[in-house]
Amino acid sequence: MTSGENTGVQAAIDASPMSGFQVSIVLLCAAIAMIDGFDTQAIALAAPQIAGAWKVAPAAFGNVFAAGLLGSLVGALVFGVAADRVGRKPSLLVAILLFALVSLLTPFTTSTGALAAVRFLTGIGLGGALPAIISITSEYSPTHRRATIVSLMFCGFPLGAVVGGVSAAFLIPAFGWPSLFYIGSLAPLLLLPVIALAVPESVRFLAQAGNRRAVETILRRMKALAAWDGEMRVGADEPRASIATLFAEGRALGTVILTVTFLLSLMLSYFLVNWWPLIARQAGMPMKSAVLGVAALNIGAIAGCLVIGRLADRRGPALPIGWAYALGAVAIAGIGLSAHSAPLMLTVSAVAGALSIGAQMCVVALGATFYKTALRATGVGWLMGSGRIGAILGPIFGGLLIAAGVSVPNLFLVAGAVSLACALGVFAMGWFVLRAGATAAPAIGAAAPMAGEP
């Protein structure tokens, strides 16, 4: 057995076909990601209706949006560390219960201040669920399919955003804006007992904790027990999960590169999602085309991440993800040059979503794979929290550019440059961290899972 990781359990997972039990775990994690995407889209689409009902300026909702993203940052960091210390499953259940109950309070708020407070707490729960579902999915996936499966699971987020947009189009005119949040709260409350009964603790977390009986039970349900050699890692010499450990023992460079890449990538995504409709309207597009543009970005992202994830499994993550970001930069710049034609703009938007946003979803899998089991949820939480900072900065940065009178083509040129910067970050990760880990594993140690840790 190699030092530093419970390879016996992972070897059994790798040697066995993907079971229906594992598929059900991934689908349930995807359902949580869908709820996150639904909620993100719901508040954005409900905001104009709330502003009209409360007779407040739409600009007042900037703080509301920022509060939700700030809550997600806090939740990802706090629940990420908790998931590594007490387990993925309890952390996930608490996060789901928190955002379900707090979101239910949304229709009862009567001021933007109260709404911002509710969105902050909701964001803590939503952000807190992400490290757990990403870690669980990663740790129940075979090594050779991990990038594809984690990316597939995370497709739930843009799919939830699309569902949120379609639901808002029907529910708000018929039942008012509160109906979106009643549904958004009911869904996780109904899902909570299903998660509690059907999703076990991560088998690799249990192996790390030395719980042999639980590992045997889960591997039996996975039909992988016969492939297990019985080796386990007690984990007595593992560092206690904390943010500081992400920068120790050779992990610092990889953590810094991934942190910057996540921040820039989420800044780009939220810039596109938040400002695309307004920019399209300023360019003379009808509102229908503006809404369809956001849908095209999300649908393109779903298709793109599946292809990029599969290529990442076959050829390693750096080149497919890096080139997707780089080509996505060209597509994003092309959005601004296609404003004269709605069909062309929608097509280019779908391509941009497939490449740049698809790559962003795949870089989540790269982050999950970079950190070993003992630090995975903490690492993912840190990266998702860093991404939330970018998500806050994206709309602000876009607003400053628009206020400065930057033209539509130049706006998307700047956005394309951000995608190119993400490409450089992923290429640097491949060359300076992953490649170095493959040729000098002792120097990288635990920080080189792509080379030695499954």
Alpha helices in 316-445 (DSSP H): 318-337, 342-352, 358-370, 376-403, 408-428, 435-439, 441-444
Per-residue confidence (pLDDT) for residue 362, from 0 to 100: 93
- Number of Cβ within 10 Å of residue 338's Cβ equals 18
Per-residue confidence (pLDDT) for residue 438, from 0 to 100: 57
Based on the fold, state whether residues 277 and 344 are members of the same structural domain. Answer: yes
Average pLDDT over all residues of the chain: 87
Based on the fold, state whether residues 251 and 345 are members of the same structural domain. Answer: yes
> Which tokens belong to 118?
């509710």
Give the distance between the most distant pair of CA atoms in the chain: 66
Backbone angles phi, psi at 437, to 5 degrees: -65, -35
Domain stop point among 187, 214, 238: 238
Based on the fold, state whether residues 234 and 260 are members of the same structural domain. Answer: no
Q: Report how far residue 61's alpha carbon sits from residue 67's, in angstroms, rounded to the nearest whole number.
A: 10
Residues in CB range of 218: below 8 A, 6 or more apart: 200, 203, 206
**162 has a pLDDT exceeding 60:** yes
Based on the fold, state whether residues 3 and 86 are members of the same structural domain. Answer: yes
Taking the CA atoms of the chain, what radius of gyration do you get in angstroms? 21
Per-residue confidence (pLDDT) for residue 452, from 0 to 100: 33
**219 has a pLDDT exceeding 60:** yes
Q: For tokens 């996150």, what's the residue?
A: 36
Domain stop point among 204, 238, 272: 238
Residues belonging to the chain: 454
Which letter does DSSP use for residue 355 in this model?
A: I
Residue 3 pLDDT level (bands cut at 50, 70, 90): very low
Which letter does DSSP use for residue 371 in this model?
A: S
> Which tokens belong to 340?
């004269």
Amino acid letter for position 378: T
Domain stop point among 173, 207, 238: 238
What region, left, alpha or beta, does residue 87 occupy, with left being phi > 0 and alpha being psi -120 to 50 degrees? left
**172 has a pLDDT exceeding 50:** yes
Q: Tell me: the pLDDT tens digits for 90-132?
A: 999 999 999 999 999 999 999 999 999 999 999 999 999 999 9
Based on the fold, state whether residues 219 and 262 are members of the same structural domain. Answer: no
Q: For tokens 């509710």, what's the residue?
A: 118
Q: Taken in order 154, 159, 165, 170, is the CA torsion positive or negative? A: negative
What is the DSSP track for 154-209?
A: HTHHHHHHHHHHHHHHHHHHHH-THHHHHHHHHHHHHHHHHHHHH-PPPHHHHHHH
User: What is the CATH classification number for the domain harbouring 193?
Assistant: 1.20.1250.20
Based on the fold, state whether residues 18 and 40 are members of the same structural domain. Answer: yes
> Which tokens belong to 423?
């490409």
The counts of H helices and E strands in the chain are: 19, 0
Based on the fold, state whether residues 249 and 228 are members of the same structural domain. Answer: no
Based on the fold, state whether residues 128 and 265 are members of the same structural domain. Answer: no
Domain that holds residue 454: 242-454
Residue 385 pLDDT level (bands cut at 50, 70, 90): very high
Please state the rounded mean pLDDT for residues 50-54.
88
Which letter does DSSP use for residue 357 in this model?
A: I
Based on the fold, state whether residues 324 and 233 are members of the same structural domain. Answer: no
Amino acid letter for position 272: L
Based on the fold, state whether residues 210 and 248 are members of the same structural domain. Answer: no
Amino acid letter for position 431: W
% the chain with pLDDT above 90:
59
Per-residue confidence (pLDDT) for residue 374, from 0 to 100: 87
Based on the fold, state whether residues 360 and 335 are members of the same structural domain. Answer: yes
Q: Report how far residue 118's alpha carbon sits from residue 64's, in angstroms, rounded to the nearest whole number.
A: 9
**395 has a pLDDT exceeding 90:** no
Q: Tell me: the pLDDT tens digits for 296-329?
A: 888 899 999 989 999 999 988 999 999 999 999 9
Q: Tell me: the pLDDT tens digits for 251-299?
A: 999 999 999 999 999 999 988 877 776 677 666 666 567 667 778 888 8
- 363 exposed, middle or buried (CB, 10 Å; 0-12, 13-18, 19+)? buried
Based on the fold, state whether residues 248 and 188 are members of the same structural domain. Answer: no
Q: Tell me: the pLDDT tens digits for 7-31?
A: 689 889 999 999 999 999 999 999 9
Q: Which of 154-158, 175-179, 286-290, 405-409 has the lowest mean pLDDT?
A: 286-290
**Angle, alpha carbons 385-155-186 (nearest 5°):** 80
What region, left, alpha or beta, does residue 250 occupy, with left being phi > 0 and alpha being psi -120 to 50 degrees? left
Structural domains in the chain (count): 2
> Which tokens belong to 303?
């298709």
Q: Report how far residue 366's alpha carbon sits from residue 224's, in angstroms, rounded to the nearest whole number.
A: 25
Please state the rounded mean pLDDT for residues 185-202.
96
